[in-house]
Amino acid sequence: MKTVAKLITIACLTAAISIPITASARAKKEASPSPAASASASANATASSGKKMVRVVPFHGMISAVDSKAKTFTIAGKDKSRVFKVTDQTAITTSGGAGTMKDLKEKEEVRGSYWKEADGSLQAKTVKLGPPTEEEKAADAARKAKRAEKKAAKASAAASATGSPAATASPSASP
């Protein structure tokens, strides 16, 4: 009986000592966060303050109109047209290298990425003029093949995890 009381006393003392130590270590960790933690904390703060997170969206099509005064170009779609604003941050490239707003012409193939502004306008982030090069086509095909491999591997892993008869080997009987 005395040993049980000693064990309980030792356990209580150990808990009483370790709780303040872990709490102070946690407080130190929270007081001086790492740069990555502070970046995610600031991202959470902007998300909770009502601002939407920016998501870059790809586009592709033929230019149907260019307005150099307003610095916009339009791509006609099946359902509706989209008007993209070109800013100082927009990276315009042509087959020969860097491009400018003057390089945008009607009936020219264009692709790139944009994000949607708070007012609903579409701001072009990247603009590539002309059809895709052979290198870009090869890189795109390689990316699609890699994605297909990952999908097939994930499907086979899921099939083996469920224990389907086709995926698991049956035990062989020994005479």
Say if 159 falls within a structural domain.
Answer: no
Structure-block tokens of residue 28? 């130190």
CATH number reported for the structural domain that contains residue 104 in this entry: 2.40.50.320
Q: Where in the sequence is the domain holding 94, given as residue range(s)?
A: 57-129
Determine what percent of the chain falls in helix, strand and coil, rounding each to the nearest 5.
45, 25, 30
Is residue 29 in some structural domain? no
60: three-class secondary structure by DSSP:
strand
Domain count, the chain: 1
Q: Examine residue 173 and state whether it is found in any structural domain, yes or no.
A: no
In a domain, 28, yes or no: no
Residue at 103 is within a domain? yes
pLDDT at 4: 74
- In total, the chain counts a number of residues equal to 175
Q: Does pTM surpass 0.75? A: no
State the pairing for strand pair 122-129/91-94. parallel
One digit per residue, the tens of pLDDT, for the chain of length 175 reads 678 777 787 776 676 676 666 555 555 555 544 444 444 444 444 444 455 567 889 999 999 999 999 999 999 888 889 999 999 999 999 887 888 888 899 999 999 999 999 898 999 999 999 888 888 889 889 999 999 999 999 888 888 887 655 544 555 555 5
Distance separating alpha carbons of residues 20 and 11, to the nearest angstrom: 15
User: Is 78 among the domain residues?
Assistant: yes
Asked if the structure places residue 65 within a domain, the reply is yes
Give a yes or no: residue 121 inside a domain.
Answer: yes
What would the DSSP string read from start to end of 72-94? EEEEE-SS-EEEEE--TT-EEEE
| Residue 169 CA: distances (Å) to CA of 44, 110, 158, 161 | 48, 52, 15, 13
pLDDT at position 165 is: 55
**What is the 3 state secondary structure string of 119-135?**
CCCEEEEEEEECCCCHH
Beta strand spans in the chain (E): 57-67, 72-76, 81-85, 91-94, 97-98, 109-116, 122-129
